Structure 1
Amino acid sequence: MNISLLLQMAADAAPDREALVCEDRRWTYDALWKAAQGAARSMRESGATHIALLDESSEAAPIALFGAALAGIPYVPLNYRLADADLGALLGRIAPAYVIGDTDRVTRLNGDGGHTLFGRMDFVAEAQAKADGPELEETEETVAVQLFTSGTTAAPKAAILRHSNLLGYILGTVEFMSADESEAALVSVPPYHIAGISALMSSIYAMRKIVLLPAFDPDVWLKLIEDEHVTNAFVVPTMLSRIIGRMDAGVKADVSSLRAIAYGGGKMPLELISRALDLFPQTNFTNAYGLTETSSTVALLGPDEHRAAHQASDPAARARLASVGKPLPTVELEIRDEEGRKLPAGERGEIYVRGDQVSGEYRERSALDAEGWFPTRDAGYLDEEGYLFLAGRADDVIVRGGENISPGEIEDVLLTHGAVGDCAAVAIPSVEWGEAVGVAIACKVDCSQPGEEELCKLVKDRLRSSRVPERIVFVEALPYNEMGKLLRREVKKLF
């Protein structure tokens, strides 16, 4: 099967139904399907080995995604925020490519790569012009999407998602044509992230209108909710923080249509999600945890669980508001130690997952073990009821005198201080212990800076002395990427 089937089924079922809105340009399912077919014809004629998108979100993204699938050529959305040297290297790795978007930059960085180049609207026009043409022959290509990893410690790996992986996720989590015509999903995550790709596919299969926001802005986000009567949205924690900040500052918008908000991509502070639940009392919140290599979500904390935890008086039950919920029924999940042994509830280790949607595959190699398990490199633990709690990346663990310390446990304690708005704990060199705890803190607006002794005492009283920071630095804001992930490598530079 091919992911293009998702769009074809939607176009066959309701060709005139509105499928997508982007900056006042509107597309029906039939128009989007015809454009995807036209794009596929153009792509095949080019002789390209990859289809690359170097652009913000627009109608070009779904047309390129499904066009590439029909053409039988891997789709490679690129991070347009990369430095020139990094982007140039990636363009060289996929040459010759059919590139859509910033053609001037491609020419400057990899002009001798033999690429076929189209600006955004030129590509859309090309796809529409070739919408009526000869029947497209089926292809044997099994790779649907290739996404480059962030490459924080080495050259980016090319993560491979096959049609079977992506369809395994969509068919296992979404019911066809389950949305009525009044439903609209606001997509504000970038097209080169797995969350952006899965948002397009799941909304199209459910036949929920997609409202694209090319570049996130909290005021524009709120206005689109009101103007397009948006019912569903996906945000990362930093986006939600900015939205709530604007609402608390007095920005008005009618958000009564908003039935559901899903979030993921980074750690959600307990205080932030609690405030969101207060501000959106009629909205269903879902925390979605997943990775590129797993075709998006593998665990969910659903709306009922959010409400139960938010209203709970029992500390253990309330703590689940900071979890990512339970694994999907179609996914197996285990916590393992460094020797690969399965750990019992309550013990921290590395998260392993297995299932049809799990790729765990790179162009360079496969990361799956002999039994099909994928080591996520995320650290975490399961509680007695099966709720999954994240504890950062496995590589982020602070090893002090042979004792493993999770940065998350220190951060959670510090965030209970009334003046602490955000914080990050990292490993810093120590002559005595090998590694010690360093903490960067961003104070809340209009709050005075707390004393270091006060903060150290808070950690010591709640945890123990080995968790007490050896150094504390105060900053205006912590470094995050556009998907809301904390850049700990940048925090370490502060020390």
Structure 2
Amino acid sequence: MNIALLSDMAADGFGDRVVVGTRDAGITAMDLRSMSTAGAEVIRRARADAVVYLAVNGPAFPVAMFSAARAGVPLVPVNYRLGREQLDALLANHRSALAIADPEHVSILEQAGLRALTTEQWLDQTRTTTPASVTDGPSDGIDAPAVIIYTSGTTAAPKGVLLRNENLTSYVFGSVEFANADATEAALVSVPPYHIAAVANVISNLYAGRRTLVLEQFTPQEWLQTVRDECVTNALVVPTMLSRIVESDADKSVPSLRNLAYGGAPMPSRIIEQALRLWPDVGFVNAYGLTETSSTIAVLGPQDHRDALASDDERVRTRLGSVGRALPGVRIEIRDEGGAVLPAGHLGRICVSGEQVSAEYAGVGRVVDEQGFFDTRDKGFVDDDGFLFVGGRADDTIIRGAENIAPAEIEDVILRHPDVLDVAVVGVPDEEWGQRIEAVVVVRPDAGRDAEGLRAHVRATLRGSKTPERFVFWDQVPRTETGKLVRRHVVDRLVSESAPASVNGA
């Protein structure tokens, strides 16, 4: 089933409702169908076998997504922050694509041999082009993926994840009720277009009938003001954004906000507890998923959050640190290194199956076992009530001597310190132990850089072998735009710096 059907259903169900952009100048569901039908004709005339999108998020993005779907070719949103060498390498995979770009990127695309349109030129053409014929679905390329997303490459070179129409429609049908939003609802999305959450929000909010708008450049003040000005009811942020919002001095009143979803990286318990108390009437949702799973596979819902915050039962309260329970149609198993399924409470590798799970890579194919399970390479466990706890990447494990140490456990303890805003714990090469534990910490501007105080704080909870041997203070730790920690960059900088110069300052 082609994702263009979602646009058709929206146009037939609530055609005059604005579904993209601002209330005053947005695109209606009927407009979106018309523009994407015309956009498909533009793609066909260009004889393109893909649509490369190299721009910030905005109205051109959903139009491009559904146009590509109707033309039967994949949409390829590309990270506009990539260096020229990486960008050229990705573009080399799509020589026959039609490209849509911000004006500053057009020349780069043309040098790579692609036909390029600016976002404004693209939108103009979708408003003025007359299709040669109107079709209900893709005219060719029916086996092509709907979207190709290149992973962030936090541990290796980016890989192209192929998401097929059936994966994306399965995700929507399994998690969203058609037309369940009323005409006043609006969703504010603060993630870039090359992230799976951006793709998922376009199709899920459209299917629900909810208007979607994008904040291109995030600041706490701009986010809060946009929520108020546009009467935003639903919003999506990454943990670092929520941290900056609740810690800011800005006016935090958000009378229209009903639901706030977060994900993409671990959420410090201190921050989510602060947010729950700040906005007690807002329903918080922690969504866990991967590009390979077409976005969310587990959700910690609003009532789960409230129950955990109010409970005196430590077992229930710790659920604030979980990502909730699996969505309908998704199966999650925790397995050991040999592939055996582990019982509740045992830490292992998170494996997942379901129709929304793509687990397919360009040039590689599907990476699933004989039972259809995909190894996410995330570590975690499921408690007796089915709540999933994620403990970081398997690749992140620090091996100190013969002991495997999860950095996420140490980071969680350090983040409980009231002066700490952010932290990264990594293993640095060591001749005696193989790796030694070091922590990079970001503290409040008015706080002192007290390494011994932090060391004592960790030792009060964890044993000595899990206490970082060195605390380094930086102004920020390297993260992607969606909040994922880039550990290899932390290790590289720590190795290159001299210990005496790093212990007391950035």
TM range (shorter): over 0.9
Q: Which residue of 1 aligns with 2:235?
A: 233
Kept in 2, the 8 Å contact 1:34–1:132? The answer is no
Normalising by structure 1, we get a TM-score of 0.95
Q: Which residue of 1 aligns with 2:408?
A: 408
Q: Which moved more, 1:13-22 or 1:356-365?
A: 13-22
Q: Which residue of 2 aligns with 1:381?
A: 381
Cα distance per residue 1:209-229 (max 9 Å; x no partner): 112222223222212211111
| 1:159 paired residue among 151, 155, 161 | 161
- Give the aligned length: 490
* CA shift for structure 1 position 34: 0.3
| 1:149 paired residue among 135, 140, 151 | 151
Q: Which residue of 2 aligns with 1:309?
A: 308
Unaligned residue ranges in structure 2 (runs of 5+): 496-506
Kept in 2, the 8 Å contact 1:419–1:450? The answer is no
Q: Which residue of 2 aligns with 1:267?
A: 266
Separation (CA, whole Å) in 2 of partners of 1:73 and 1:231: 33
Separation (CA, whole Å) in 2 of partners of 1:143 and 1:473: 44
Is 1:138 matched up with 2:139? yes
Is 1:245 matched up with 2:244? no
Letter in 2 for 1:72: G
Q: Which residue of 2 aligns with 1:84?
A: 84
SS at match of 2:408: helix
Kept in 1, the 8 Å contact 2:162–2:361? The answer is yes
Cα distance per residue 1:9-53 (max 9 Å; x no partner): 110112111112159631111111100000000001111121011
SS at match of 1:462: coil
Counting only pairs closer than 5 Å after superposition, residues 333-352 of structure 1 correspond to structure 2 as 333-352=332-351
Q: Which moved more, 1:481-490 or 1:214-223?
A: 214-223
Separation (CA, whole Å) in 2 of partners of 1:131 and 1:474: 59
Q: Which residue of 2 aligns with 1:124?
A: 123
* CA shift for structure 1 position 363: 1.1
Q: Which residue of 2 aligns with 1:393?
A: 393
Separation (CA, whole Å) in 2 of partners of 1:423 and 1:175: 38
Counting only pairs closer than 5 Å after superposition, residues 54-93 of structure 1 correspond to structure 2 as 54-93=54-93
SS at match of 1:172: helix
Normalising by structure 2, we get a TM-score of 0.93
Is 1:171 matched up with 2:173? yes
Separation (CA, whole Å) in 2 of partners of 1:131 and 1:7: 18
Letter in 2 for 1:107: S
SS at match of 1:73: coil
Is 1:319 matched up with 2:318? yes
Unaligned residue ranges in structure 1 (runs of 5+): none
Letter in 1 for 2:83: A
Kept in 2, the 8 Å contact 1:235–1:262? The answer is yes
* CA shift for structure 1 position 105: 2.9
Letter in 2 for 1:429: P
Is 1:219 matched up with 2:218? no
SS at match of 2:440: strand
Q: Which residue of 2 aligns with 1:328?
A: 327
SS at match of 2:92: helix
Letter in 1 for 2:240: T
Letter in 1 for 2:217: A
For the structure 1 residues 419 and 187, does the alpha-carbon distance in structure 2 shift closer, same or farther, using more than 3 Å as the test?
closer
Cα distance per residue 1:108-150 (max 9 Å; x no partner): 366252x221111110011111255422363323410001112
Cα distance per residue 1:201-247 (max 9 Å; x no partner): 0010001111222222322221221111111011101111222233x
* CA shift for structure 1 position 461: 3.3
For the structure 1 residues 110 and 211, does the alpha-carbon distance in structure 2 shift closer, same or farther, using more than 3 Å as the test?
closer
* CA shift for structure 1 position 104: 5.1
Separation (CA, whole Å) in 1 of partners of 2:360 and 2:134: 32
Letter in 1 for 2:326: P
Kept in 1, the 8 Å contact 2:154–2:487? The answer is no
Is 1:372 matched up with 2:342? no
Separation (CA, whole Å) in 1 of partners of 2:216 and 2:455: 43
Counting only pairs closer than 5 Å after superposition, residues 438-457 of structure 1 correspond to structure 2 as 438-452=438-452, 454-457=453-456
Q: Which moved more, 1:379-388 or 1:283-292?
A: 379-388
Q: Which residue of 1 aligns with 2:17?
A: 17
Identity among equivalent positions (%) equals 46
Kept in 1, the 8 Å contact 2:286–2:300? The answer is yes
Separation (CA, whole Å) in 2 of partners of 1:109 and 1:85: 13
Kept in 2, the 8 Å contact 1:91–1:110? The answer is no
Kept in 2, the 8 Å contact 1:335–1:382? The answer is yes
Structure 1 residue ranges, 4+ long, deviating more than 4 angstroms after superposition = none
Q: Which residue of 2 aligns with 1:210?
A: 212
* CA shift for structure 1 position 345: 2.0
* CA shift for structure 1 position 405: 0.7
* CA shift for structure 1 position 408: 1.2
Q: Which residue of 2 aligns with 1:184?
A: 186
| 2:203 paired residue among 201, 204, 213 | 201
Separation (CA, whole Å) in 1 of partners of 2:245 and 2:14: 34
